[in-house]
Structure 1
Amino acid sequence: MSKTIPIVQVPAEAAYETTVNVAGRRKIHARMAHGFWSNWRIAAVVATQLFFYLVPWWQIDGQQALLFDLETFRFNVFGMVWLPQDLIYLAALLIFCAVALFAWTAVAGRLWCGFTCPQTVYTEMFMWIERWVEGERNARIRLDRAPPSAGKVARKAVKHGLWIALALWTGFTFAGYFTPIRPLWQATLAWSVGGWTTFWILCYALITYGHAGWLREQICLHMCPYSRFQSAMFDRDTLVVSYDSQRGEPRGGRRKDADFAGDGLGSCVDCTVCVQVCPTGIDIRNGLQYECIGCGACIDACNDVMDKMSYPRGLIRFTTEHAQAAGAGRATIARRMLRPKVLAYAAVLFAVAGTSAIGLVNHQPLKLEIARDRGILSRTAENGDVENVYMLTIQNVDDRPHRYRISAAGLPGLQMPELAPVAIAAGGSETVSLHLSMAEDRVAAGRHEIAIGVASVDDPALHVKEKTTFFGR
């Protein structure tokens, strides 16, 4: 016997106002929230974007402070010059960031998503523009529902024009991290930017415009993997946005001076403002959902309503499952931090950070690589001495040119021809052929350990020494 699945038509509520429906997506007109967490979110947007937009223009000793020049494979990192072989520090940084994100999620849930994720930050900036041009939530709904008119087209054109301008400036700044931004600006003014640079500026601008202007919450809901695997890092002591159902239910409307307890109602007045301010359009009163990005907008909105009703704040708040079950208003920091999972993350973070710090402290802006012909370990020179030939690659990764002197030691009687100091430009390298020899009667057959050193003539503190072998016959 076949079963029939009943289909029930559910009317849309005002909280879930829909004006556009494309492939089942309802357009979210998020209401502006005001309060403690909203102020923190604004501060996070300002801080991250001041860093992003201003740092490429910062100069240290005439060099761009932060530049990953892929054309020359020269990376300026706040006064230090790194070459491709220094990318181990980048790998360490990526490992540190990944573990830090896991640790942060275990302790604080999705605060990263709600306050500093680039998708959230740029969506917030685009929404500021949208509110400035089209008005608050109800005005935007009316505008979208209105039939085409000159005023509507003008407002939409202004909004998208500002969005495109911001996206282009973002794409230009992004390209400025990979090609010197000041020459890039001059080339932009002269309309002489190269093809690949133009491509990446427009590509990143298009991504910004599409993600922050059009897709918005769809990135968080359907494209971001973090929202999917975050549940594996959550436990009962993870900080999350929670609705206190014991206090709030049963919900219902009432007058401000009404005795809601006597009417059998909870503190929730069912105003749906918490839903209206949510950038992903969820109802936090239905419990924690993967769509929640932890922005705290619903907390500010609910606290504002509680203040107007003269009710205690905290109907919606950041807390943990343990604290809520125990009836505590806030989760203790000690309980959230002193957990095996968090301590393990902390140990890994300290290990990665400590190892990287030691490497950076001992980082020398001078590198020496020694190579030799493996087919000829040693040979007899014209004067009968035993001779070994080495190819030295000297890299000056400093931001100033230097002259380097070569030396060799490790065997009594080791002879080296007199070589003039090698001049190397800032960030450059030179390959030098070095011939070392010894009298045949003074060196035994087999391999002998020696050291070849390179030191700066103008800066004695700048030196490096590498071990290699000298083969006797």
Structure 2
Amino acid sequence: MNTQPSPEVAVIKMYAAREEIYAREVQGRYASIRWACVWLTQIVFYGLPWLSWNGRQAVLFDLVARKFYLFGIVLWPQDFIYLAALLIICAYLLFLATAIAGRVWCGFACPQTVYTEIFMWIERQIEGSRSARMRLDRQPASVAKAARKVAKHAAWLAVALWTGFTFVGYFTPVRTLAHEVATLGLGPWEWFWVLFYAFATYGNAGWMREQVCKYMCPYARFQSSMFDKDTLIITYDQARGEPRGAIAKSAAAAAKPKQGDCIDCTMCVQVCPTGIDIRRGLQYECIGCAACVDACNSVMDKVGYERGLIRYSTDHAMQQGLSSAEIRRRALRPRVLVYLGVLLAIVTAFGLSLAMRTPLKMDVLRDRGAMGRELDGGVIENVYRLQIMNTSETAHRYRILVDGMPSVRLASADEVTLQGTETRSVPIRVQVDGGQGAKGSNRIHIALEAADGSGLKVREEAVFFVPR
């Protein structure tokens, strides 16, 4: 008979159940900066699609027409390299900002942070302060409670739907989109993307909030690779703050060993949108929003202590007691200089390439159905098709020129006019006299030259075939 005890079964939870976080509203320097970022980003996001430029939407990614409009610049599929360069510039800006100031992007300008701030503001306006929201959630079901909850979610959904509509307005002309919404004439894909983006905004900012930052955002996981001991992070001055405890209010309590400046009010925890205690040290859940800094500074002001118990600082500064001037000096370290140098090089190359870009493109396609034909009098003729793109928004008239062989000439119309952002296929016939050129393939050049004084010109190589 087996008398050995059965092994215990351990259940390991890979995902902790969410505990509701009731973040307290905070006032201060960093809260003002955060709200300035909210206003700036949302004015740009919601307002940009309604701006007009040259009689059309200023910023429009027209996937159907395969044209990307960025104010005075029109990009085509052939210009995809410029969009890739923009993404690379944004990535290096993020790397540079992270190396200098940690997760400053997450704390102040990330869409998740911005919309969470907006949704939390709506929640406070409808349900009240932190304590009022906690009391409301503990109350039994009632008409008054349901009314507040319905009003809050209705406001959230309104913001989310407007956000989804605006997002789609970057890909479909927003005025056309508004008319289609008003007449319920949206296409299936437009409905899908408006509702999808609205659902994502409503779910992420209204329900998931800190869960997105803690479990879904990959940046929280690899950001540490861009940190070093001179990166600015939110820090708690443990040497100054510990041992923590309430302020002594009696002679007996005052006679006890001296306490640190932290009065253990937990305000830093109550204002944290991810619910962490910064006094435990840097944690990957910290998004660097500095709400705890504002809260702690306000408490220090009230009790008459020096500000900065919780502050932006670096590991080196905390360990070695560096001054603010020394922190700023060490900000220009090799890692930062490398990021800055690469970023400046990419921006310079991008700007020069865009400035020198010729708003005229041409592809030469030879008619492969006839390699070359002999006409009366021994004249040899080849047929080509010119695929011409006027990438500017101004109409131009162009002359078609050919050279590269003796007696080579154009036997078709030698001028073409293209409207702004027009693409046209133009057939041309090129001839040479009999006996000119070698049998087989000969190199010629076909050029387009502006006839309106704009100075635009492109020149492409082609093959002229002489029958053997």
TM-score normalised per structure 1: 0.90
- Residues 56-455 of structure 1 correspond to what in structure 2 (within 5 A)? 56-255=49-248, 263-330=257-324, 332-339=327-334, 341-373=335-367, 378-419=372-413, 421-445=415-439, 448-455=442-449
Shift of 1:353: 1.3
Q: Which segment drifts farther, 366-375 or 295-304?
A: 366-375
CA 174–213 in structure 1, closer or farther in 2 if over 3 Å, else same: same
RMSD between superposed Cα atoms in Å: 2.5
Instruction: Verify the 8 A CA contact 1:247 1:315 in the aligned structure 2.
Output: yes
* Residue identity opposite 2:234 in structure 1: V
2:283 and 2:319 map into 1 onto residues whose CA distance is 18
SS in 2 for 1:383: helix
SS in 2 for 1:263: coil
Shift of 1:336: 1.6
SS in 2 for 1:441: coil
1:334 and 1:442 map into 2 onto residues whose CA distance is 73
Determine if the alignment matches structure 1 residue 461 to structure 2 residue 433.
Answer: no
Shift of 1:420: 5.4
CA 431–401 in structure 1, closer or farther in 2 if over 3 Å, else same: same
SS in 2 for 1:94: helix
1:257 and 1:421 map into 2 onto residues whose CA distance is 98
1:157 and 1:307 map into 2 onto residues whose CA distance is 39
Instruction: Verify the 8 A CA contact 1:319 1:329 in the aligned structure 2.
Output: no
After superposition, give the CA deviation of every residue in 1:287-334 in whole Å (9 maximum; x if it has no partner). Answer: 000000000100010011111111111111111111111112535223
After superposition, give the CA deviation of every residue in 1:178-228 in whole Å (9 maximum; x if it has no partner). Answer: 000011112211221222111111111010000000000000000000000
Q: Which segment drifts farther, 59-68 or 452-461?
A: 452-461
Shift of 1:468: 3.2
Shift of 1:86: 1.1
Shift of 1:465: 2.4
After superposition, give the CA deviation of every residue in 1:71-95 in whole Å (9 maximum; x if it has no partner). Answer: 1112111122211111110011111
1:101 and 1:383 map into 2 onto residues whose CA distance is 69
Shift of 1:253: 0.6
Shift of 1:32: 0.9
1:260 and 1:200 map into 2 onto residues whose CA distance is 64
2:366 and 2:274 map into 1 onto residues whose CA distance is 62
After superposition, give the CA deviation of every residue in 1:319-352 in whole Å (9 maximum; x if it has no partner). Answer: 111111111253522312222x222222221222
Aligned residues: 458
Shift of 1:376: 6.2
Structure 2 gap segments, 5+ residues each: none
After superposition, give the CA deviation of every residue in 1:134-158 in whole Å (9 maximum; x if it has no partner). Answer: 1111111111111111111111111
Instruction: Verify the 8 A CA contact 2:411 2:430 in the aligned structure 1.
Output: yes
After superposition, give the CA deviation of every residue in 1:404-434 in whole Å (9 maximum; x if it has no partner). Answer: 3322233442211140533434322111222
Instruction: Verify the 8 A CA contact 2:49 2:60 in the aligned structure 1.
Output: yes
After superposition, give the CA deviation of every residue in 1:97-138 in whole Å (9 maximum; x if it has no partner). Answer: 122212221111100000010000001110110111111111
Identity %: 50
1:197 and 1:425 map into 2 onto residues whose CA distance is 30
* Residue identity opposite 1:334 in structure 2: R
Structure 1 gap segments, 5+ residues each: 8-21
1:256 and 1:161 map into 2 onto residues whose CA distance is 48
Pick the aligned partner of 1:48 from 41, 50, 53. Answer: 41
1:280 and 1:102 map into 2 onto residues whose CA distance is 23
After superposition, give the CA deviation of every residue in 1:16-36 in whole Å (9 maximum; x if it has no partner). Answer: xxxxxx962101000111111
Q: Which segment drifts farther, 415-424 or 357-366?
A: 415-424
2:369 and 2:283 map into 1 onto residues whose CA distance is 66
Q: Which segment drifts farther, 375-384 or 397-406?
A: 375-384
* Residue identity opposite 1:100 in structure 2: L
1:280 and 1:230 map into 2 onto residues whose CA distance is 17
